[in-house]
Amino acid sequence: MYISITGLKPKNFWGFLRFWRLAIPSFNQARSSDGILFCEVKRIQGNQCTLTAWESREHMLRFMRSGVHLTAMKSFHKIATGKTYGFESESIPKWTEAFELLTKNGRVY
């Protein structure tokens, strides 16, 4: 299975509002996407984090490149900063481990 972890911080008040206007529909899109196995959000150290597990990387990429999530990605640099990290795994990490992996290995945006 493919694990995807994100941690984002809105840049300012307006970014915060725009972030949530896109984040909630993106989360709903993820929860109903083909190939999703697990989908949770959590605030950790000021980061709005997502932890998702997919049947495959291809399933995650189809989600990532479509719908409101694609719109959110195109707006990202205007509204937030953050990191993403994805990897193959046989198990879904606990939140503590996921955030450590994101902090250590995440790609900065």
Whole-prediction pTM: 0.92
Tens digits of residue pLDDT in 55-64: 999 999 999 9
Domain boundaries, the chain: 2-108
Cα 104 to chain centroid, rounded: 16
**Fold held by 2-108:** Alpha-Beta Plaits (3.30.70)
> Which helix (H) or strand (E) is 82 found in, with range?
strand 80-88
Q: What are the pLDDT tens digits along the chain (109 aa)?
A: 999 999 999 999 999 999 999 999 999 999 999 999 999 999 999 999 999 999 999 999 999 999 999 999 999 889 999 999 999 999 999 999 999 999 999 999 8
pLDDT of residue 70: 95
